[in-house]
Structure 1
Amino acid sequence: MIDALSVRSRPPRRALLPAPDQLIPTSTCHGLDQLVGNTPVLWIPDLHATGRRGFWAKLEGHNPGGIKDRPGLHMIQRARERGDLLPGMPVVESTSGTLGLGLALAGLVHGHPVTLVTDPGMEPSMRHLLAAYGARLDIVDRPHPDGGWQQARRDRVTRLLAEHPGSYCPDQYHNPDNADAYHPLALELAAQLSRIDVLVCSVGTGGHSAGITRMLREFFPHLRLVGVDATGSTIFGQPARTRLMRGLGSSIHPRNVDYPAFDDVHWVAPAEAVWACRQLAATRYVTGGWSVGAVAVVASWLARTLPDDTRIAAVFPDGPYRYADTIYNDDYCRQHDLLGRPPARRPDEIGHPSEREVTRWTRCTNIVQPVATGQVPA
């Protein structure tokens, strides 16, 4: 007779399990450069919570250092292939932060010392992180009288290149390799979303808006490109002013900005970007820096106003980690009067960038290239 107690105490028969390497798709990386790319897209509902409309956000903050890991690696690789950058020679570049992370990564991958010229506006946390990654920081102490901190950094780069023969500057503002670096991102978006009607991009050097759009229009010829700039930026014909926001906008006119590619441009103010960043954090557990907030303001409005079958893709260039002491710090935001000032339900409209200086969210469909290509400041 079978003892019922002994039957109950027997361990259950183990099911046959697949081999460990068949459990999930493998993501093992043998090189640091393999960490870059294949970032996810996430559905973002309208930030004003007015219905079921929304847009798709490409979360480039899932790269180790953000979106500019892509051009950091690509520009260095191409310079090496052309012989412009010899093995072991220094890389010198101007940056407000994010490209610095990409170049620090490229320096580790390819064995180049990296010097990054920045200004006092770079967050202490970013300076500490770049130093930990092995980059040398050179901080300029006064802005250029016309081109501000940006031109002061570029002038310092020119001096460092003269002092160190054989060193190489990727020149993110004018180097076409910058835009080309974003072709893989465009292919990722096309595969992830199958159809894209509107692309929303922040504009700084002009690299990712140009590179992504050129490739996507091979698949979607009628793609509409909406640029997002910062108030106080001179890229699209507004006067240059001291800017609180970093990562978008410019005090010079980069040659990588593909002016004919844009259908319209929006300028967004710091308080409006802060509101959007905090809304994203509270409702979607995803956010980033000034560019992310500004892009979200515009993409959310487009989702509310365009036909409901319009598929909108917005590029979120980075994550929130470097902004803990600015955008997400109440004391900092109160000091700069950035709290409690959400964007309006719709942007102001101007017919031409020279019509008036804008200080809040404003839209213009008349795209003006302020300076001819051959006359861009050095």
Structure 2
Amino acid sequence: MHLSLLESLVSAGAAAPVPLLARRPSHLVGNTPVLWIDEPFTPPGRGFHAKLEGANPGGIKDRPGLHMVREARRRGELAPGAPIVESSSGTLGLGLALAGLTYGHPVTVVTDPGMEASMVRMLTALGAQVDPVTAPHPAGGWQEARRERVAELLARTPGAYCPDQYHNPDNSAAYLPLAAELLAQLGRIDLLVAAVGTGGHSAGIAAGLREHCPELKLIGVDTVGSTIFGQPAAPRLMRGLGSSIHPSNVHYGAFAEVHWVAPAEAVWACRQLARRHYASGGWSVGAVAMVAGWAARTYRAGTRIAAVFPDGPHRYLETVYNDSWCREHGILGLEPPTEPDEIAEQDECVVTSWTRCSQVRDPLGREAAKEVVR
């Protein structure tokens, strides 16, 4: 007797995992897939495992958005129905919009003119209020201007709460489940490659992985023009990584090395990922892929490398994936180098293209001061 088409499909997929049936959108956060990435970033037989956080409803920052709000409610810092106000270039805004929907809080996202119009429309559609600042801070750039605006809104809104993603330890703690997922998916992990912005996901994932993989090495990925690792602040085209302030969530002592990546290099990598692997994202994804590919080529064969891809491509369709926009900014079709430049100290010179430094320290000396106190 011939099987029906339905019976054949059911039989063929009998061993496949059953997709999650969610009752609430927050239940869709986590358990994201891992994809093997090889050519053109590595030769045949080499590659790295990409954790596709763009599979979350809004991206990787759905995790800290939900966790920071949940913990603030638990401690009594955020009253039922009280407003949430936070600075964001985009992805955390989506996470907080989800948290506001989940727990019943109005959300205001303070941003700047660099936020893509599509992101503004999406946040508004999700029920968040978007409040853009109009001028950068003379020393701290757009980020400091946004933080000052947040402080103004908090001062005039009784009961309002700011998660403060740059300095809130709940930001890092939110990524411990992601570390557990990677361990369940990959077992041993030797090397983690992660973008650095607030410092939350690099610190949290590395801490979780080191409980089972104590020899883990962590490579941080930053953007040119970012001050996080001691470079001077400069206008930055790339969003989602880098900073013009010094977030205390960055765990400098956890890094074996740091790489800075430039916009043209990230664009090339994003487009190669899309064309070759049907999986891509924004600036952070391209920068991380560049560095993870280098690590897979450079470290000994058999090194198990996990790279975190924080988001998907959709908010970048008018920037990273727009030929006209990229051409206007002089970053279209530029073949990147196969190896980074090397500097011995983080502030040795101003970096303008892919550059590596294996001596990582806190440029403000905060971690050295902690060691003296101990």
CA distance in 2, matches of 1:161, 1:15: 60
Deviation, 1:27, is 1.5
- Structure 1 position 236, deviation (Å): 0.3
Q: What TM-score results when the alignment is normalised by the length of structure 2?
A: 0.94
**Which stretches in structure 2 are left out of the alignment for 5+ residues?**
370-374
- For 1:180, give the aligned amino acid: A
Who is 2:140 aligned against? 147
Q: Determine the C-alpha separation between the residues in 2 that align with 1:300 and 1:15.
A: 42
Tell me if 1:77 matches 2:70.
yes
Match of 1:59 in 2: 52
1:33 Cα deviation after fit = 1.2
Distance 1:373 1:305 in 2: 32
Which residue of 261, 264, 268 maps to 2:257? 264
Which AA in structure 2 matches 1:256? N
The residue matched to 1:353 in structure 2 has which SS? Answer: coil
Amino acid at match of 1:184: P
**2:181 is the counterpart of 1:188:** yes
Structure 1 residues 285-342: Cα deviation after superposition (integer angstroms, max 9, x where no partner): 1100000000000000111111111000000000000000000000000000111222
CA pair 138-51 structure 1, distance change in 2 beyond 3 A: same
Output the amino acid matched with 1:300.
Answer: G
Whole-Å separation in 1 of the counterparts to 2:247 and 2:101? 27
Q: Which runs of 5+ in 1 are unaligned?
A: 1-10
Deviations 1:141-189 (A, max 9, x none): 0000000000000000000000101000000000000000000000000
- Specify which of 322, 325, 329 is matched with residue 322 of structure 2: 329
Does residue 338 (structure 1) correspond to residue 331 (structure 2)? The answer is: yes
Question: Superposition RMSD on alpha carbons, in Å?
Answer: 1.9
Instruction: Report the counterpart of residue 169 of structure 1 in structure 2.
Output: 162
The equivalent residue for 2:111 is 118
Would you say the 8 A contact 2:42–2:293 is kept in 1? Answer: no
1:208-234 deviations in whole A, cap 9, x for unaligned? 000000010000000000000000000
The alpha-carbon deviation at position 47 of structure 1 amounts to 2.6
In structure 1, the partner of 2:372 is: none
Runs of 4+ in 1 over 2 A off after TM superposition: 11-18, 22-26, 46-52, 372-375
Q: 1:302 to 1:26 in 2, by over 3 A?
A: closer
Change (3 A) 1:337 1:25: same
Equivalent position to 1:134, from 112, 118, 127: 127
Alignment of 1:193-208 (within 5 A): 193-208=186-201
Aligned to 2:266: 273
- Are 1:368 and 2:361 an aligned pair? yes
Match of 1:228 among 199, 208, 221: 221
Check the 8 A contact 2:273/2:279 in 1, yes or no.
Answer: yes
Specify the code of the residue in structure 1 equivalent to 2:339: R
